[in-house]
Amino acid sequence: MSVGEALDVTLLTLKVGATATAAIALPAVATGYLLSRWRSPLRPLVQTVVSLPMVLPPVAVGLVLLLLFARSAPLGRAVEACFGAPLLLTWWAAALASAVMSFPLFVMGAMQGFDAVPPRLEQVAASLGASRARVLLSITLPHAARGVACGAVAAFARALGEFGATALVAGRIRGETETLSLAIYDRIEQFKSADAVAFAALSLALALLTIGAVELLRRK
């Protein structure tokens, strides 16, 4: 394994993780906010649906995505019509799979962040004349920022290590969709143990960095 190859795989992994995390940021924060504030009998049901990717086998999630975004499926055709190329077997597909698998972690972090904001602060801001949007942007979000950031880093870490769903929708195309976890599996299949261990070491370094970032945020 050359240094260039290791660098390419690592950078692609980071690109997939960052894209996935950025893509789910808004919906995850919005869902976390709703789950934190919504007092409805339907709330546990919604929470269960949101958590499904965490308990389903990743391959099953990948299969669902495969069926949804196949060129013969309506969604797949719509994507192809919009972007001029199919989604599957591209790094975008890897990012999509990572986004779906990471979504529950981001939502949980955000929800914990919103849960930690004293409702009194929001009530005071409303009594001072602030609109709901102003209360959310000026009071709630800044006070929930740590939880949201923890959720984002946890989601990013999950995206970096995603394998099952990604393998199904993005394939294992060297230089195009091969992330670190796919590369490890590929080298093991090819009996290149030293390369597999080297990619695993890179994964470990990235994991340590992200876990360290989560701990820093929690203690801050």
Partner 1 sequence: MNTFELHAEYPGFTLDATASWDGDATALFGASGSGKSTILEALAGLRPAVRGPIELRGRRLDGLPARRRAIGWVPQDASLFPRMTARENVDFAARLHGDRNAAERAIEVLELATLLDRSAAALSGGERQRIAIARALASRPDFLLLDEPLASIDRPLRARIVPFLARIPAELGVPLLLVTHDPLEVAALTRHVIVVEKGRCVAAGAPAAIFAAPAAFGAFELGAENSFAVNVGGRSPGLLDVVTPHGCVLRVADVPGFPLPARVAIRATAIVVATRRPEEVLVENVLAGTVRSVAIEGEQLALRVEAAGETWIVRTARRAAEPAALAPGREAWLLIRAADLVPSG
Q: Answer yes or no: are the C-beta atoms of 126 and 135 closer than 8 Å.
A: yes
Nearer to partner 1, 48 or 123 (CB): 123
Q: How far is the CB of 217 from partner 1 (least distance, A)?
A: 15
Residue from 60, 126, 198, 207 that binds partner 1 (CB under 8 A)?
126
Instruction: Note whether 129 binds partner 1 by CB under 8 A.
Output: yes
Instruction: Note whether 116 binds partner 1 by CB under 8 A.
Output: no
Residue from 22, 30, 52, 124 that binds partner 1 (CB under 8 A)?
124
Q: How many residues bind partner 1 (CB under 8 A)?
A: 17
Q: How far is the CB of 139 from partner 1 (least distance, A)?
A: 6
Nearer to partner 1, 143 or 192 (CB): 143
Instruction: Note whether 212 binds partner 1 by CB under 8 A.
Output: no
Q: How far is the CB of 209 from partner 1 (least distance, A)?
A: 27
Q: How far is the CB of 150 from partner 1 (least distance, A)?
A: 17
Instruction: Show the tokens assigned to 213.
Output: 């970032």
Instruction: Note whether 219 binds partner 1 by CB under 8 A.
Output: no
Q: Answer yes or no: are the C-beta atoms of 66 and 169 closer than 8 Å.
A: yes
Q: Tell me how far CA of residue 181 lies from CA of 39, 72, 160, in angstroms.
A: 40, 29, 8
Instruction: Note whether 38 binds partner 1 by CB under 8 A.
Output: no
**Maximum Cα–Cα distance for the chain, whole Å?**
67
Cα torsion 64, 162, 96, 34: sign: positive
Alpha-carbon distance of 87 to 70, in angstroms, equals: 8
Instruction: Note whether 37 binds partner 1 by CB under 8 A.
Output: no
Nearer to partner 1, 118 or 212 (CB): 118
Instruction: Note whether 142 binds partner 1 by CB under 8 A.
Output: yes
Q: Answer yes or no: are the C-beta atoms of 91 and 170 closer than 8 Å.
A: yes
Nearer to partner 1, 202 or 217 (CB): 217
Residue from 116, 121, 201, 216 that binds partner 1 (CB under 8 A)?
121
Alpha-carbon distance of 140 to 119, in angstroms, equals: 9
Alpha-carbon distance of 121 to 107, in angstroms, equals: 22
76: Cβ–Cβ under 8 A, 6 or more apart, which residues?
Answer: 68, 69, 70, 86, 87, 88
Q: Which of 13, 25, 207, 210 is nearest to 106 (CA)?
A: 25
- Interface ranges with partner 1 (CB under 8 A): 118, 120-121, 123-131, 134, 138-139, 142-143
